[in-house]
Amino acid sequence: MKPISLIQFLIEERRAGRINAELSLLIEVVARACKRIAVAINKGALGGVLGNAGSDNVQGEAQKKLDVISNEILLEANAWGGHLAACASEEMEDPQPIPDMYPKGHHLLLFDPLDGSSNIDVNISVGTIFSVLRSPDGVEEPKAEHFLQPGTTQLAAGYVVYGPATLLVLTFGHGTHEFTLDREVGSFVLSRRNLRIPEETAEFAINMSNQRHWEAPMQRYIGELLAGQDGPRGKDFNMRWVASMVADVHRILSRGGVFFYPLDAKLKAKAQTGKLRLMYEANPMAFIVEQAGGSASTGRARILDLEPTALHQRVPVFLGSKNEVAMAVRYHAEADGAQG
């Protein structure tokens, strides 16, 4: 079969009436920006891009040089095309308006420009995550409050994983599709259509070093997986943790599995409601995973149904194979019920 480029795929989606020209352009622009990010990452130490930038982001986390570079690449690429009303990023406290000299579009773009960036200096996969919303009608200059729409309203979501190959995974709400960057030609090419996450799995992803801080239902659920064949589950489970959500989610989309970043006492002590950010990490990943037949929950609610309260809000994240997410959610409901 002839390879299908991302551009051709977008044209077909337009013809099928699933996206409009502006959204198609937006995805093209984000994909082009991510190719530039991939080039910067690939240069590594030779490009002088490793290490800390010497600044903190809005969450008080030390920024890597590549966090700052990736953010700038995405902002610059998206400023002038006329497809956006505003963008928001993990790296900026407030949304970035479109400069007055350029036309404005009807979309809002949220992104985590370089997720997993603490892995950069050790040459482990990192990624870009993005979410697209409609800008509310009649709003000239969107503010943070205009981005606070539930995940169910996303028009598109995707991520790029910068690994051994650079891959783009994308959904418009009609399945989840994977494109591989052909470096010689310089374009993303459809490599897998309609990814499916098996309902059953024997592989989980969690940062086990936080075990003693977890809530009781999380302790119970993971304890049963660790007990393996001798425990109540009657089978052995394998564990993987890359500490780059994009890489962990991509593995789950490729061979199944379940990912957890639960709320724990360590986060609560810092007055945090989770580790991962709702608007540009949890929501787009939840959309992608649900479109591939998986589930995504906070342990107590479906992520896509959450009513956001702040641009940089954090939430617990459980996502992946349906049956495992359901079991972990059931243990939380039982524990909450027992507490009255």
Q: Which residue ranges make up the site for ligand AFP (CB under 6 A)?
A: 61, 115-118, 207, 243-245, 261, 275-276
Whichever of 117 and 187 has its CB closer to ligand AFP, that residue is 117
Select 261 or 318, whichever has its Cβ closest to ligand AFP.
261
CB of 45 to ligand AFP, least distance (A): 19
Calculate the dihedral angle through the C-alpha atoms of 139, 144, 147, 148, rounding to the nearest 10 degrees.
-120
User: Could you tell me which residues come within 8 angstroms of residue 118 by beta carbon, excluding any fewer than 6 positions away?
Assistant: 64, 243
What are the residues whose beta carbons fall under 8 Å from the beta carbon of 279, sequence distance 6 or more?
Answer: 88, 110, 131, 147, 148, 308, 311, 312, 313
CB of 81 to ligand AFP, least distance (A): 27
Nearer of residues 117 and 321 to ligand AFP, judged by Cβ: 117
Token output for 107: 């979309």
Amino acid identity of 66? L
Smallest distance, Å, CB 2 to ligand AFP? Answer: 36
| Beta carbons within 10 angstroms of residue 46's beta carbon | 8
**Residue closest to 292 by CA, chosen among 224, 205, 219, 194:** 194
Q: For tokens 């660790």, what's the residue?
A: 226
**Residue pointed to by tokens 């795929």:** 9
CA dist 296 and 325 (Å) reads 7
Nearer to ligand AFP, 124 or 226 (CB): 124
How would you classify the pairing of strands 62-64 and 52-56? antiparallel
User: Closer to ligand AFP at the Cβ: 261 or 331?
Assistant: 261
In the bound state with ligand AFP, the residue whose beta carbon lies nearer, of 86 and 267, is 267
Q: Is 117 helix (H, G, I), strand (E, B) or coil?
A: helix
Q: Which is nearer to ligand AFP, 123 or 153 (CB)?
A: 123
Question: What phi, psi does 63 have (nearest 5°)?
Answer: -85, 140
Nearer to ligand AFP, 111 or 261 (CB): 261
> How does strand 258-261 pair with strand 203-205?
parallel
Helix (H, G, I), strand (E, B) or coil at 66: helix
* Smallest separation (angstroms) from ligand AFP to the CB of 16: 33
Provide, rounded to whole angstroms, the least separation between the CB of residue 238 and ligand AFP.
Answer: 18
CB of 306 to ligand AFP, least distance (A): 18
Name, in order, each residue with C-beta under 8 angstroms of 210's C-beta and a sequence gap of 6 or more: 264, 266
Cα dihedral 294/11/35/240 (nearest 10)? 10
Indicate the residue among 61 and 305 with the shorter CB distance to ligand AFP: 61
CB atoms within 10 A of CB 18: 16
User: At its nearest, how many Å lie between ligand AFP and the CB of residue 276?
Assistant: 6
Query: Which tokens in the block code for residue 231?
Result: 């425990």
Q: How far is the CB of 127 from ligand AFP (least distance, A)?
A: 8
Residue 275 C-beta: closest distance to ligand AFP, Å: 6
